[in-house]
Amino acid sequence: MTVRKRLYISNILMLVIPAVISVLALAAGVLAVLTAASPGAEHDLASEHELGELRTDIAGLAEDWLTAGADAARIKSASESGGVLTVIERGGEEAARFGSGTETAALDAALAALGGEGTVSDGKTELYGELLDGGAVRIYNPVVDAASGTIRTLAAVFAVLVVAVALLSVLLTNRFLTRFVFRHISGPLLTLSEGVRQIRDGNLGFRIEYANPDEFKPVCEDFNDMAGRLKEGVERSRREEESRKELMAGISHDLRSPLTSIRAYVEGLLDGVADTPEKRERYLRTVNAKAGEMDSLLGKLFMFSKLDMGEYPYSPERLDAAREIRDFAAASSEDYARRGLEVRIGAIPGAAVDADPICIRSILMNLLDNSAKYKNKPAGTAHISGEIENGWLALYVDDDGPGVPDEALGKLFDVFFRSDPARRNPNQGSGLGLAIAAKAAARMGGSIRAENLPGGGLRIALELPLAKEEEE
């Protein structure tokens, strides 16, 4: 269940539960009050019993007064203390009156209808009559409404109880629902907090396992994705740092070697070792070649840094890919032949691409340089071919060299990467060529990849998007 649903249910129950409990308490109070107020209720039994005894006592005293002439003071005292009016009749006429109260003709008539004996009431005053030896007695008293006081007391008590029950139910419901919701929030928060601490402490392999289908699941998945990317970034930075160290070693060696040679040949010229015109010319040619090597290396470093920062000049043109490749091969095949690499041109479709000719030549040069550097026989071969696939021009540069391990194919175009011990030798180059080729391909909206050929050797596949007209 999601946190949103839990909050929704919690808000509803927060209103419903206290309301139901309050209604039940109120209903119980009303029922108790109605029970206390019902006519058959046995309320204030002590007061009813005392009233009956008082009437009996006064009737006895009145009969004694009528027959034996007993002292009337006792009748008066009993009437006044009981709050009743006592009327004694003799021969149908009023003989005496004691106490105070309200006397009504309606009650007298009602009692007469009962034969002078019994109890009648008009709701406010109650009349009790009894026939005596020698006369009769009538006793008037206010209606004994002890239940009204009891009802008011019960109503007040139950009102307080209802309020107390309502407040208590609100507190208990709030506590229960808070735990019901918060425990499903605090748990995931503690899990995320633990994950943050693990990442902070360097445990980049830590992952959160969270299966509940609520709002925290995508957060935990994003956390795991973040941790994975962070780990990849740290590992990539470490690899790049190692590659930069290797690059510095390779560049230092590549620069030191020609500089040492240049210095040695210049010292030979200064010391007169080259004592013939032929030797001096050979020394100068060697110095020029070594300077060219340094210039080439520095040019690659400059080109890679500009491509990496996106500042390398890019001037796309509408090019015929087949013609561009053949022109490049015609201009450079002789140079590669001197380096022991024969460049062959296969079938290349005449397709137009919008690309920078300098970038294309740079890619081809770096790929062929790579084949020339790492060939494992005196005379190697590089074969360039192409085909059109789904709006892309795919160009293939296949060589018959040693290839690379399969696990290194995906890293071959990483910055400064060299896959095997032979390629890690600084004498074989700085490792920038394929990285420059990948940057240049991406700059033109294309891609580049490497794969081992079934019969041996390495294939570099360059894919460039066709011009819009060619796609149509």
Q: Is 70 exceeded by the pLDDT of residue 361?
A: yes
Of residues 438 and 250, which shows the higher confidence score?
Answer: 438
- Distance separating alpha carbons of residues 345 and 329, to the nearest angstrom: 8
Instruction: State yes or no: pLDDT of 154 exceeds 70.
Output: no
Query: Looking at the predicted structure, is the pLDDT value of residue 225 above 80?
Result: yes
Is a pLDDT exceeding 80 seen at residue 204?
A: yes
pLDDT in tens, 280-294: 888 898 888 888 878
**Average pLDDT value over all residues in the chain:** 80
> Is it the case that residue 261 has pLDDT exceeding 90?
no
CATH number of 313-471, picked from 3.30.565.10, 3.40.47.10, 3.40.1210.10, 3.40.50.300? 3.30.565.10
Lowest mean pLDDT among 245-249, 394-398, 413-417, 462-466: 413-417
Domain covering 216-302 assigned CATH 3.40.50.620 in the classification: no
Contact predicate 321/466, CB 8 Å: no
Q: Is the model's pLDDT at 3 over the cut of 70? A: no
Asked whether the predicted pLDDT for residue 76 surpasses 80, the reply is yes
Look at residue 376 in the predicted model and tell me its pLDDT.
83
Where are the domains positioned within the chain?
A: 3-39+148-194, 45-143, 216-302, 313-471
Q: Which of 462, 344, 338, 322 is nearest to 392 (CA)?
A: 462
Give the global pTM.
Answer: 0.46
Query: Over 90: is that where the pLDDT of 218 sits?
Result: no
Which CATH number is associated with domain 45-143? 3.30.450
Q: Quick check: 191 and 54 in contact, CB under 8 A?
A: no
What would the DSSP string read from start to end of 213-235? -STHHHHHHHHHHHHHHHHHHHH
More confident residue, 183 or 283: 283
Report which of 152, 149, 146 is spatially closest to residue 50, judged by C-alpha positions.
146
DSSP 431: S
Determine contact, residues 471/391, Cβ cutoff 8 Å. Answer: yes
178 compared with 345, residue with greater pLDDT: 345
pLDDT at 240: 75
**pLDDT level of residue 112 (50, 70, 90 thresholds):** confident
Specify the pLDDT at position 37: 55
